[in-house]
Structure 1
Amino acid sequence: MSAEFGGRTGRQGKISQWLRGRRPKEAVGDDGREALLLAAAGVGLPLAPAAYPTADFRCSCDRVGCPTPARHPLSFAWQTQSTTDRGQIERWARHQPQANFITATGMVHDVLDVPLEVGREALERLLDAGIEVGPVAESDDGRLLFFTLTRGTPEDEDEWWPCELDCHPETMDEHPGLRWHCRGSYVLVPPARLPGDNQSVHWVRGLEHPLPDPLTLLEVLTDACARYIGEEPDHANAAWPSRR
């Protein structure tokens, strides 16, 4: 299911080897695709069908000049449609064999989404420091996705604190560094295909790794992203405030 880094013994060598060049991606057949989707639902990630790339590297949707080809849900009702129900996901996967799937964030999990170079550096630092890292997916459009526990979805809006890093589908371009996908956002869940030759979203650390608290990763990720975009990190504004 994932490219394992193993225990602490020999971890540095394995990480360095991975950082020097991605491990070859294995093709995922229909059975493997369905198994990975069901595994994601099995750990609580709510899924919904998404668009997929066509033979001419365009989007399967009928929107002319789609701005996010193969990266968006099929339905505008994706937030209510998203589910972990095994039977429904099996039906979707079998009736729409080419479809990608998104996972709706802010229900069970969030995703900290960073540039690939930044993510690789941060992942090495986190593992070397003995910090628990959960599932991590790599997107061949140049992003690394850290899956974490959610910040929560309280019924009382007064109990919600927005974060300057919060990212929604319509604000993606405003966050070239760290994007925090929480309520109202989504990401493609592996296995997913992107436009281009052999472009995909795939696991580099699988779903057997428990979801961590996002704040345990945030400082390392914001530091790495600040260096990437040439700014000083602002942990005071980036961090999630404590609950009252």
Structure 2
Amino acid sequence: MEETIGVTEAARIPQQRGEQLLDCAVRYAEERHWDVLPGTWLEAAGGRELCSCADAACPRPGAHPARPDWANQATGSATAARRLWGKQPRASILLPTGRTFDALDVPESAGFLALARMERMDLTLGPVTRTPDRRMVFLVLPGGAPKVPDLVRKLGWSPAGLDLIARGESSYVAAPPTRIGGPGAVQWVRRPTQANRWLPDAEELISPLAYACARDAAG
């Protein structure tokens, strides 16, 4: 079973060095065949780190698309990725959803509870990330996001009552080692490996995720 990061473990936060970001972006495109997109980045200003978009109230500083036509800028070419991050080495790494994968985004507490249940059930899992704003993101097969509301209803819950966000077409997730709004960086809870190259369908994970989100909401 693949090792996971515990909720209280003091995992090492990777530094957001330009070379590391470039190398990771190229590796995601080259080894996983994921489309990658350079996003905004953090800039020092007056003793603070602000988003490069210049919005002091940016809701996701350092980790959102830098231009409105971002979907067309995303590339699955390692050569193009090297060129894009060569121009802006500090750019965050964003992965568009709805292409090679969709994403199920839940609170961190619910994510670890669901992950423990999934491992006991011996479910096939894909890569999973953990963000500094205490979210966990499970990668699933593309096309799964639109099915999630109906799947949740069939399990007896109201989609509006659960903090479970399904990200498909026209959305994205931030990839490690992107930093979001300060010292925290996106980390892998379950790293991309040869063993998890084949992703699960959203339907396979929705029951433990919905259950965990319902418990989290009740708590």
Normalised-by-shorter TM-score class:
0.7 to 0.9
Distance 1:57 1:226 in 2: 35
Partner of 2:173: 187
CA contact 2:104–2:140 (8 Å) conserved in 1: yes
**Cα pair 2:179 2:185 within 8 Å, conserved:** yes
> Does structure 2 retain, via aligned residues, the 8 Å contact 1:37–1:190?
no
- CA distance in structure 2 between the aligned counterparts of 1:75 and 1:27, rounded to whole angstroms: 25
Give the alignment of 1:109-148 within 5 angstroms: 109-148=101-140
Give the alignment of 1:6-21 within 5 angstroms: 6=2, 18-21=6-9
Contact 2:97 2:167 in 1 (8 A): yes
Task: Find out whether 1:229 has 2:204 as its counterpart.
Answer: no
The number of residues matched between the two structures is 203
| Structure 1 unaligned spans of 5+ | 7-13, 153-159, 166-173, 232-244
- From 100, 107, 131, the equivalent of 2:99 is 107
In the superposition, the TM-score normalised over structure 1's length comes to 0.74
Provide the aligned C-alpha RMSD in A: 2.5
2:208 to 206, 214, 220: 220
Q: C-alpha separation between the residues in 2 aligned to 1:129 and 1:28? A: 36
Partner-residue secondary structure (3-state), 1:164: helix
User: SS at the partner of 1:192?
Assistant: coil
Matched residue SS, 1:57 = strand
Specify whether residues 70 and 175 from structure 1 end up closer, same or farther in structure 2 by C-alpha distance, changes over 3 A only: farther
SS in 2 for 1:195: coil
1:86 is displaced (CA, Å) by 0.9
* Residues 63-122 of structure 1: CA deviation (Å, up to 9, x unaligned): 353232222101111111111111110011122111102111111110111101111111
Q: Which residue of 2 aligns with 1:37?
A: 25
Structure 2 unpaired stretches of 5+: 151-159
2:35 to 37, 46, 57: 46
TM-score (norm 2): 0.82
Checking the alignment, whether the CA contact within 8 Å between 2:21 and 2:90 is kept in structure 1 is no
Provide, for residues 200-230 of structure 1, a one-character-per-residue CA deviation record: whole Å limited to 9, x for no partner.
Answer: 1121211212222221111110110011112
Residue of structure 1 equivalent to 2:62: 70
- Percentage of identical aligned residues: 29
Q: 1:202 aligns with which of 178, 184, 187?
A: 187
Give the distance between the partners of 1:22 and 1:112, measured in 2 at CA. Answer: 24
Q: Is the partner of 2:33 in helix, strand or coil?
A: coil
Mapped contact 1:54–1:195 kept (Cα < 8 A): no
> 1:193, 1:201 within 8 Å by CA — same for their partners in 2?
yes
1:163 & 1:18 partners in 2: Cα distance? 27
The amino acid across from 1:184 in the alignment is S
| Paired position in structure 2 for 1:171 | none
Once the 2 structures are TM-superposed, how far is the Cα of residue 38 of structure 1 from its aligned partner? 2.0
